[in-house]
């Protein structure tokens, strides 16, 4: 295969490694994928620096498989955020419409929150469940309902 193909695979592997690294807090499987992608990157860099041939079809298949797995983890994380928001939505004063749900899920993703609740106790219980390096932060409610919002942020080990 050509050096250009090798370079494309290397760039894709770096992008997937970055994506996997971001998802590690959401799902431990992302860490395994991240380690495997790092191995692929090391091999590709070795082939590139020594002008060796490599099995481009096999590498391409591996990268597509990793991409698919990371997409599934990402979708699972989005579902968890939506469920978290719906749990918050049980508060009687919250509006129950899809636009608010989408806004809140996007807001939580944008701020890298794993969980948010209008109950500080519930957020602290979730913190205990996770058992990772995390913290509960008080936030101003982005929906403007004037309630205290408590959000869980997991600190990533980088």
- At residue 74's C-alpha, the angle toward residues 71 and 78, to 5°, is 135
Domain residue spans in the chain?
3-85, 98-155
Per-residue H/E/C for 13-81: HHHHHHHHHHHCCCCCHHHHHHHHHHHHHHHHHHHHHHCCCCCHHHHHHHHHHHHHHHHHHHHHHHHHH
Q: What is the pLDDT of residues 48-103, one digit of tens each?
A: 999 998 899 999 999 999 998 888 877 777 666 666 666 655 554 444 555 677 78
Is pTM beyond 0.85? Reply is no
Q: What is the pLDDT of residues 99-148, one digit of tens each?
A: 677 788 888 888 888 788 777 888 888 877 776 677 888 887 777 766 77
21: its two tokens: 């690294």
73: its two tokens: 């983890």
Which contiguous run of DSSP H or E holds residue 134? strand 134-140
């Amino acid at each position: 295969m050509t050096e250009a193909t090798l370079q494309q695979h290397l760039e894709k592997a770096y992008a997937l490694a970055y994506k996997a690294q971001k998802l590690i807090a959401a799902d431990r499987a992302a860490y395994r994928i991240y380690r495997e992608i790092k191995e692929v990157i090391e091999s590709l860099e070795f082939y590139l620096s020594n002008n060796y041939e490599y099995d481009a079809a096999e590498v391409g298949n591996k990268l597509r498989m990793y991409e698919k797995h990371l997409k599934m983890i990402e979708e699972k994380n989005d579902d968890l955020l939506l469920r978290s928001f719906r749990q918050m939505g049980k508060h009687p004063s919250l509006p129950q419409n899809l636009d608010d749900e989408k806004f809140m899920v996007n807001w939580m993703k944008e701020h890298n929150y794993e969980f948010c609740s209008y109950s500080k106790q519930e957020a602290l219980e979730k913190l205990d469940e996770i058992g990772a390096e995390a913290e509960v932060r008080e936030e101003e409610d982005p929906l403007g309902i004037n309630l205290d919002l408590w959000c869980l942020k997991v600190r990533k080990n980088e």
